[in-house]
Amino acid sequence: MPEEFTFIWGLEGTFMHYEGATGFHPMPEVTKGALHALAANDLLHLRTEPGDRSGCVTYCTLTGKAHEAVDSNFAAPDTSFVRHLTPLADITGLDTQLKHRCLPILGAGAADPKLWDSAVRTAGVILEERLRNVGRITDPQAVGRDLVNKVFGKSGTLSGKFGHDAERESYRDLYAGVVGAFRNPSAHRLVDPAPHEGGAYIVFVNLLLRRLDDLR
């Protein structure tokens, strides 16, 4: 875009013209308010004069600050991190079992809390099954906190994986807390979480599954 250009507002609409252009180009999306906002931020110099047909002509000149703004994409922040903060925005790193058992449920209607209820319940079952598998727990009656203690307790099957009791106890508290606060309620009653809550839970379970696999 040239440094100087003109906007013409009239009964026929809004048009833009600049040196070297052939004729006037319709610009329905440009408003006077937008130009004044740019001018208020020292990106444009404006001069408005009366025009023909009850309209007006606005002469615009870009400032050096405008060129700096364009070069920096108007100082737009790097928002690539949003992909990592948005649950299920990127499923490439999702646990295989979660992909195969939870995502098909949500495919029937991702905005339906009842479907998220089923997906969350399934994710909790996957977590317990992984605890049994990685922790080598053969007792089918071991569930919930009892299962977690058999895996991460002082004499648990994975206790030898930790160099300090404090770290082992932290794992026990973490998994026991998730089982008690999330897994058990969804196993015994209808929770119907909001989609963003259900998504956050599934992503968190994915992290817990990965930590368990690292302990194999």
Model-wide pTM > 0.85: no
Residue 15 in 3-state DSSP?
Answer: strand
The closest alpha carbon to 58, from 118, 108, 97, 17, belongs to 17
Both tokens assigned to 79: 């928002």
Q: What is the pLDDT of residues 109-165, one digit of tens each?
A: 888 999 999 999 999 999 999 999 999 999 989 999 999 999 999 999 999 999 999
pLDDT, mean of residues 60-86: 78
The torsion angle over the Cα atoms of residues 139, 140, 143 and 147, rounded to 10 degrees, is 20
Residue recorded with tokens 């703004």: 69
pLDDT at 199 over 60: yes
DSSP of 142-196? --HHHHHHHHHSTTSTTGGG-SSHHHHHHHHHHHHHHIIIIIHHHHHS-----HH
- Which CA distances in Å does 83 have to 4, 87, 88, 90, 106? 39, 8, 9, 7, 19
Give dist(CA 112, CA 52) in Å, integer: 57
Both tokens assigned to 162: 């930790």
Q: Angle 113-119-120 (CA atoms, 0-180°, nearest 5)? A: 85
Which residues are paired to 7 by β-bridges? 16, 58
The predicted pLDDT at position 152 comes to: 97
